[in-house]
Amino acid sequence: MAEKTIKYAVEMKGITKIFLDTIIANNNISLKVKKGEIHALVGENGAGKSTLMSILFGLYQPTKGLIKINDKQVVISNSIKATELGIGMVHQHFKLVDNFTMTENIILGSESVVGWQWLDFKKAKKRIVELSKKYKLNIDPNLKVENSSVGMQQRVEILKVLYRGADIIVLDEPTAVLTPQEITSLLEIVKELKNSGKTIIFISHKLGEVKAIADTVTVIRNGKVVESFLASEKTKSEIAALMVGRELVAVKNQSNIELGPTLLKIENLHVKKMNSGASATKFKSLFKKKKSRNHEQILGLEKFNLEIKAGEIVAIAGVEGNGQSELIYSLTGLMKVTKGKVFLNSQNVTNFSARKLYHHGLSHIPEDRHKYGLVLDYTVIDNMVLQNVDQYPFSKFSLLRKKAIQNYAQKIISSYDVRGSDSGFALARGLSGGNQQKAVVGRELNRKHQLLIVAQPTRGLDIGAIEYIHQKLLEEKEKGNAVLLISYELFEVMTLADRIVVLHSGKVTGDVSAKNIKKETLGLMMAGQKWSNISPKSTGTKKAERK
């Protein structure tokens, strides 16, 4: 009787989805989501979460099973039908047109017109502003997407579904690319959506977020539902064990190996600041080059000095946009150094091309796997040898040795559990975000290198994959390689690093040992206070540490 009185916004019964007659993404999954609740969907990368929600949004058709929306059985043949049923989906990788304004992106496909052909931007902007205020989304409707932050783009995606009248909103890994401050803001927005009567399906690997906002949780593993329960009934550790099917082992840098010679040395580095829409505005700057020569450009990184020894992990901490990207791109050949020098294994490599740097022992796990990590329309196998395809054993006399390439790539795919890759023959575009990341990490760690520059290595990964990647990064230390880690996750920084360098407004505010450092202390430096000015008494830091 109690079950009959519950009103469900979504009921998915016996959903099975099989790709290419062999890959079972969803295996007889049943899911019930109550009206007006936040329902978290958790599981490992490739467990079938995004596929299930893509079926709900009409992007895929189930091999078998049925769907009910508000107690009525429906066939969701495409995303237009899903929208008509009040379903909206915010995808993990944003679906935005960079050179359109936020208003143009939000109304795209649902444009209001005056008469029979003129776009009614005035009416559209008015409604967007009303929605923005109501749900505390705070966007500038006239700002181009290419000039906005990732957090702002996330809000545009949410406004897109609200503009179309969605009452059921699917958020697929909504915090995967956000800074801690943006995550806090987004979670408040999600709570506001719930309070207004919206039903939220929240896909996430971050169990702290799940515990903070979810009412109920469903765990999926290997395409099957493991268990559904109230979020308050289980701890984060218990949920994690359900996700991966085992107890997780805490990973921590506790090695005291003797450090070797300096592998990376940076002297007085100055780099021009990137715009938030740097990739899109790059070509515009070429036309303004003559004009800008007479004007001093803003520096994104200033007077930066650093040494990293063999067997050392140095982490860069700071709020996003404080010089981390300029540092990464200048060290990996993607941006020119304005002033200063970079030495790799005692050789001056300042302004070397990315290709030259790779041949001098650099490996790079980029922050943006789509833009700099993968060729999405190549197979996973081809992506595994991109930097070394001209070298033996992958080629000989300018001819590709396909068997050697395949064997090498498939070892990486197997070792790093890259799911959905069809033994490497699938296109990289078809992999989930987490499995794309595992492919990039596996490729870079398996290349011969002495220096590893790694930015956001676990972005979009589930808790089991994070544990594995952390172990692999610590193995780099044991092998005697140098690691420069850039991460916006303080837990990751404090778990892996030997030393932590904090950046604020492109300048170093602290270079400290990671041993026994407090989060509060790092927070003060991230806010702009210099290490030398922070009181040991106020942060609980011992005098000996400061020395």
Tokens at 397, concatenated: 């006399």
Looking at the structure, tell me whether residues 320 and 416 fall in a common domain.
no
**Residues 6+ away with beta carbon under 8 Å from 140:** 102, 148
Residue 510 pairs in a beta bridge with 502
pLDDT of residue 131: 92
Residue that the structure tokens 């996430």 belong to: 204
Question: Per mean pLDDT, which range of 56-65, 228-237, 363-372 is the poorest?
Answer: 363-372
Question: Per mean pLDDT, which range of 272-281, 434-443, 479-488, 535-544 is the poorest?
Answer: 535-544
| CATH code of the domain covering residue 155 | 3.40.50.300
Residue range of the domain that includes 436? 370-447
Residue 222 in contact with residue 57, Cβ under 8 Å? no
**DSSP SS3 for 59:** coil
Looking at the structure, tell me whether residues 42 and 145 fall in a common domain.
yes
Residue 199 has pLDDT above 80, yes or no: yes
Residue 157 in contact with residue 148, Cβ under 8 Å? no
Residue 85 lies in a domain: yes
Looking at the structure, tell me whether residues 438 and 454 fall in a common domain.
no
Looking at the structure, tell me whether residues 411 and 345 fall in a common domain.
no
Rounded Cα–Cα distance for residues 481 and 309 (Å): 8
Determine which helix (DSSP H) or strand (DSSP E) holds 50, and give its type and residue range: helix 49-56
Q: In what order do the strands lie in the sheet with 313-317?
A: 362-365, 451-455, 482-486, 313-317, 499-504, 507-513
Percent of the chain, pLDDT > 70? 92
**End-to-end CA distance of the chain, in Å?**
68
Looking at the structure, tell me whether residues 107 and 47 fall in a common domain.
yes
pLDDT of residue 17: 96
Alpha carbon separation from 478 to 255, 260, 453, 514 (Å, rounded): 8, 11, 16, 17
The bridge status of strand 38-43 relative to strand 216-221 is parallel
Alpha carbon separation from 296 to 30, 40, 330, 338 (Å, rounded): 61, 49, 19, 11
Question: Per mean pLDDT, which range of 69-78, 264-273, 357-366, 460-469 is the poorest?
Answer: 460-469
Residue 292 lies in a domain: no
Residue 371 has pLDDT above 90, yes or no: no
pLDDT of residue 2: 52
pLDDT of residue 401: 96
pLDDT of residue 275: 62
Residue 251 lies in a domain: no
Looking at the structure, tell me whether residues 454 and 443 fall in a common domain.
no
Rounded Cα–Cα distance for residues 306 and 497 (Å): 15
DSSP per-residue letters across 129-159: HHHHHHTT----TTSBGGGS-HHHHHHHHHH
pLDDT of residue 51: 93
pLDDT of residue 297: 67
Residue 282 has pLDDT above 60, yes or no: no
Looking at the structure, tell me whether residues 383 and 346 fall in a common domain.
no
Residue 249 lies in a domain: no
Looking at the structure, tell me whether residues 488 and 545 fall in a common domain.
yes
pLDDT of residue 298: 85
pLDDT of residue 451: 97
For 169-196, what is the mean pLDDT? 86
Residue 198 lies in a domain: yes
DSSP per-residue letters across 83-141: HHTTEEEE-SS----TTSBHHHHHHTTS--EETTTEE-HHHHHHHHHHHHHHTT----T
Looking at the structure, tell me whether residues 20 and 142 fall in a common domain.
yes
The per-residue pLDDT for range 117-164, each reduced to its tens digit, is 788 888 889 999 999 988 888 888 899 998 887 788 989 999 999 999
Single-letter residue type at 309: K
Residue 442 has pLDDT above 90, yes or no: yes
pLDDT of residue 540: 47
The alpha-helical segments, DSSP class H, found in 245-363 are: 278-287, 289-292, 324-331, 354-359
The bridge status of strand 339-344 relative to strand 395-396 is unpaired
Other Cβ atoms less than 10 A from the Cβ of 236: the count is 13
Rounded Cα–Cα distance for residues 197 and 36 (Å): 5
Looking at the structure, tell me whether residues 145 and 109 fall in a common domain.
yes
Residue 89 lies in a domain: yes
Q: What is the largest CA-CA distance in the chain?
A: 78
For 389-400, what is the mean pLDDT? 93
**DSSP SS3 for 216:** strand
Other Cβ atoms less than 10 A from the Cβ of 50: the count is 25
Closest CA to 280 of 99, 462, 411: 99
For 438-442, what is the mean pLDDT? 94
Residue 412 lies in a domain: yes
The per-residue pLDDT for range 10-21, each reduced to its tens digit, is 999 999 999 888
Total domains in the fold of the chain: 3
Looking at the structure, tell me whether residues 87 and 98 fall in a common domain.
yes
Looking at the structure, tell me whether residues 222 and 264 fall in a common domain.
no
